[in-house]
Structure 1
Amino acid sequence: MRPLRYSINVTVDGCVHHEAGVAPDEELMGFWTAEMQRADAVLYGRTTYEMMQSAWRRPASGVWPDWMDEWEIPFADAIDRVPKHVVSSTLDRVDWNAELMQGDLGDAVRALKAQPGDGLSVGGVTLPLALAELGLIDEYTFVVHPVLAGHGPRLLEGLSERVRLELVERREFASGAVMQRYRSPGGS
């Protein structure tokens, strides 16, 4: 069974908004590239899918935009290639190497996890909360940035029950960010 991994940047006060001042530097982008490369596929909700597509989809010209630093290109290549599964009740079609997930969320994710491979990745805010509620996330990776945002969406805000986790890895970055990787003993 493939593990489902949730990975996200977060501020010290728990904000997970992409504009909270947690943009990766070259070292962190290398970390996120390696995370993307170990995923057989990613699961996104509509908002995250559209946000990631607008930032990281290879342009039709095949040439990455001028705003992109050379050290961001490996991540862009990795996310552009990986198959994507999108959960949405408002989209009727997707592209960018993506397909819409159909039916019951829990059943659909269990079917993906049952396929052979190294693992699945989920990103965003709302979808991971739903998957955590279903007990389907096996691993949580939080890159905690030395920033206090003071507002914005919070990490897994609204989770109905406590989830005990086991710390399995910790890494400090030159920026002061700290990666903490946890396993969920109850993940399925």
Structure 2
Amino acid sequence: MANLASNYSRQGRWKEAEELNMQVVELRKRVLVEEHPDTLTTMSNLASNYWCQGRWKEAEELNMQVLEARKRVLGEEHPDTLTSIANLASTYRDQGRWKGAEELQVQVMETRKRVLREKHPDTLASMDNLAFILKRQSRDVEAFSLMEACTQLRKQVLGDQHPRTKSSLRTLTEWQVRNVEIDP
């Protein structure tokens, strides 16, 4: 059922995904308990469903609930807990709540560097996300520097042809072109 809900989400079938995820959450709470990692994952999926629809308040509330439970059950440095923090940062980012988004994303990036190491793909995703948050705050030099470091590490870890490396390279090129246009 959870996999089917995930397929619905990928297809943009939000109502069907939401209904199915809600059923899975209720079943998992009853069978596995509320703070079981699988229950929390389904709750996180439901929050993601809200986020994709721009339902920020619902996404934020559910993300906070999942985050607090994951901290208690898994610990503050567990990869799933860090994903919850990153999800909350994305919710803030998409509402233009830059300071909160930045604080959370810095926390995620620094913890991932320490726990997973700097070259881990999740750490690199955090660097990428933080660079965009900085860019949106017109902190171009910091954003560019971080994206450049992320791109170099992605080249080392994933190779030049990996989609994430290519995406980082495109971003750097776009940012360079825009800065040249702004500062002739």
Q: Aligning the two structures, in what range does the TM-score lie when normalised by the shorter sequence? A: under 0.3
TM, length-normalised to structure 2: 0.27
Q: Give the helix-richer structure, 1 or 2.
A: 2
Structure number with greater Rg is 2
TM, length-normalised to structure 1: 0.27
Q: Give the strand-richer structure, 1 or 2.
A: 1
